[in-house]
Amino acid sequence: MVLASPASATTLVEGIARRQRLQELLDLLRDVTHRALVNPIGEPAREMLVAWGFPEPCLDHLDVGFFPDPAYVGWELERGGSSVSEAEGAGLLEASWSGHVVGPWRNPRGRILTFFAWEPDHSDRAERYASARCRQPRTLFGKDVAMSPPTGHLCVVEGLLDVLLAHNLGMACVVGLGSSLGGLSVQRLARLAASGIREVTVVPPDDEAGRLSVVTVLDNVGSPRCRGMEVFVVDPALMAGARDLGQLVRRQGDQALREFHTWRMEGDVYRLMMVPLHD
């Protein structure tokens, strides 16, 4: 039996302590920003969320918040016993987040991994969700809800707010990437397959980039590492003119949940019928 040296044991303990402080900081930031959302200072963010499709009464329980500016948030973090320098070091006091809706990105056990900031007006759709330190987790957004109880099917969309909107209407199997569906890599698909997922339904944006991202996903799922997994596609062109799942839900509410899965097709059929030039 090999015993750790005193120096390595100390390093291990210090690492555990740092991770614990970071987790406490992330939990506190969630509380600070959520309070800002539901208080008068968060009125612009609430109006934005209501316009996106969230009913006003649900905002108290929605797992997002409002980031007024770094000075305000830093002051509130210090009041809660945290360190501004640690928050800055973790990339959680970004000036570019000022005035934006923010929210925690959790792992399947519900622990916060990082925070995202929602920038709905960004010209690049892939940049509408900025993560702390410009790094998105490998865990799909919303998987903590989608995997409780475990399910063999997931619906994957790009927008994180689309995920929360779907969950609010009872569609718990929806998860998000926060970027192009092309980010559903072989590694991510393989991890989903290992966790028991056998079917993935993707909802691409109704544009050329969205269609090409589906081709990437179909190529990736063909890897031997993803054996036993099947990809289905919901073409937005079939969704009453809605560009994506979020717009569909905003227009049709619960009706969308009753019709949604009737519109999906096998991935290879989609490739043949919708993107023959890239077959």
Q: Which CATH class is domain 14-134?
A: alpha beta
Hey, where are the domains in the chain? Answer: 14-134, 143-278
Q: How far is it, in rounded angstroms, from Cα 207 to Cα 172?
A: 26
Task: Write down the pTM of the prediction.
Answer: 0.87
Per-residue pLDDT in tens (0 to 9) along the chain, 279 residues: 555 566 666 676 666 777 888 899 999 999 999 999 999 999 999 999 998 889 999 999 999 999 999 999 999 999 999 889 999 988 999 999 999 999 999 998 899 999 999 988 777 777 789 888 756 788 999 988 877 666 789 999 999 999 999 898 888 889 999 989 999 999 999 999 988 899 999 998 878 888 889 999 999 999 999 988 999 998 877 777 777 777 887 888 777 777 777 888 999 898 887 655 444
The CATH number of the structural domain formed by 143-278 is 3.40.1360.10
Q: State how far the Cα of 74 lies from the Cα of 70, in Å rounded to an integer.
A: 6
